[in-house]
Amino acid sequence: MLEVKNLMVFYENAIAINNVNMTCKKGVITGAFGANSAGKSTLMYTISGIMLDIKKKEEMRGGERITVLGSINYDGADIINMKPSERAKKGIILCPERRRIFPESSALENLKIGGYLATKTQAKKTLEYVFTIFPSLKELQGREGGFLSGGEQQMLAIGRALMAQPKLLLLDEPLLGLSPRIEAILARTVKEINREIGITILITEQYARPIFPIIDYGYVLENGGAVLEGTAKELMENPDVKSAYFGL
């Protein structure tokens, strides 16, 4: 479904993604984890194409030079130069780090905005589905996004991404800053979404523990490089992963 090959991303002369090769198989959950600055958000921006917008903006204001090299094959075509809006139409939808919901719009409006690519029928059906998996959003649909709790805002961000009818959903650190209880609820729901509607998911996280139970395959990012990969079981049994990511 998605094959990232020899991907390199430079911010000016600093390397943020260093020769990453990564595959996300159809219908499964792939995890990419790494510490702060490992390159998780850069990877997600590059796959979703937002990096091209950032690059253009930087060029227009005479800022830093961003270079992207390598290939990103999605459903048989190299999309590395494709605009983010075109990628979204093909089903590549990013749920960005730190949620980025619209704080002054109600939860319902936030969800409706997410549905701009959907037909009326799809939007209606997906809205019902979002309210089924996140019942608290149904109750709070009239509340302004900015007045929701961190966990509710993350549910809203995932719901909004679902409204865009993703085939490949990119979840960038969805558990960031949440309590262990909410982390567990969200991780379970991500698995449910994957199982029930068969969406392919790429999820990044800083800590392995909450997402390990739900991923099928994972990559460890360090200083922009993918230094380890394997099934969840293989990674969990790896002594380096145990000590660095589980504190064992």
Instruction: Work out whether 174 is an interface residue with ligand ATP (CB under 6 A).
Output: no
Residue 220 DSSP SS3: strand
Site for ligand ATP in 122-151 (CB under 6 A): none
CB closer to ligand ATP out of 26 and 57: 57
Backbone φ and ψ for 57, nearest 5 degrees, come out as -60, -45
CB of 128 vs ligand ATP, minimal distance in Å: 33
> Is residue 14 near ligand ATP by the rule CB under 6 A?
yes
Q: What gap in Å lies between CA 201 and CA 204, rounded to an integer? A: 10
Q: DSSP string of 176-208?
A: TT--HHHHHHHHHHHHHHHHHH--EEEEEES-S
- Which residues between 16 and 75 bind ligand ATP (CB under 6 A)? 16, 34, 36-42, 64
Q: Do 126 and 197 meet the contact criterion of CB atoms below 8 Å apart? A: no
Query: Residue 247 corresponds to which tokens in the numbers above?
Result: 């504190």
Min separation Cβ 217 and ligand ATP, Å: 19
**Per-residue x/- marks for ligand ATP, 202-231, CB under 6 A?**
----x-------------------------
Cα–Cα distance for residue pair 206/244, rounded to 1 Å:
11
Contact 27/198 with Cβ under 8 angstroms? yes
Q: Taking the complex as a whole, how short is the minimal distance between the CB of residue 132 and ligand ATP, in angstroms?
A: 31
Chain residues that interact with ligand ATP, rule: CB under 6 A: 11, 14, 16, 34, 36-42, 64, 97, 206
